[in-house]
Amino acid sequence: MNISAKIIEIFETAKVTETFKKREFVVEYSENPQYPEYLKFEFIQDKCELLDAFKVGDEVELQFNLKGRKWTDPKGGVKYFNTLQAWKLDNKSNVASATGAEPPMAEPEWLSEPSNRENDLPF
């Protein structure tokens, strides 16, 4: 899944266990600008450092997975949790320039040269 959004807040990396870390951030997603949504995402493990290149206010293209899990508490009650787990983040201005219109390719010279040979076909 992917969305375009603006970064509102970036948190420090949290070491959850000795072998697991995550870093959360919040974006403003305005599919309908009259009612913006504030969504909290997380990067995990080696992806946490991806946020170092961004700051609050940056317009970004965000790619993520929707994760969900079921948990049964000690009393037998069932609870469900959802996570928005980001895996790629691009600065929107860089994405726009990278995917913007490129100048048309010039015609190769050999196509526009007049042929001086009677039969240029190799067969």
The pLDDT of residue 92: 86
Enumerate the domain spans of the chain.
2-99
- Contact (CB, 8 A) for 83 and 24: no
The pLDDT of residue 33: 87
Q: What is the spatial distance between Cα 40 and Cα 22, in angstroms, rounded to a whole number?
A: 12
The pLDDT of residue 35: 94
- Domain 2-99 matching CATH 2.40.50.140: the answer reads yes
Q: What is the pTM of this model?
A: 0.71
pLDDT per residue rounded down to tens, the chain (123 residues): 999 999 999 999 999 999 999 999 999 999 888 999 999 999 999 999 999 999 999 999 999 999 999 999 999 999 999 999 999 999 987 655 444 444 444 545 544 555 555 555 554
The pLDDT of residue 117: 55
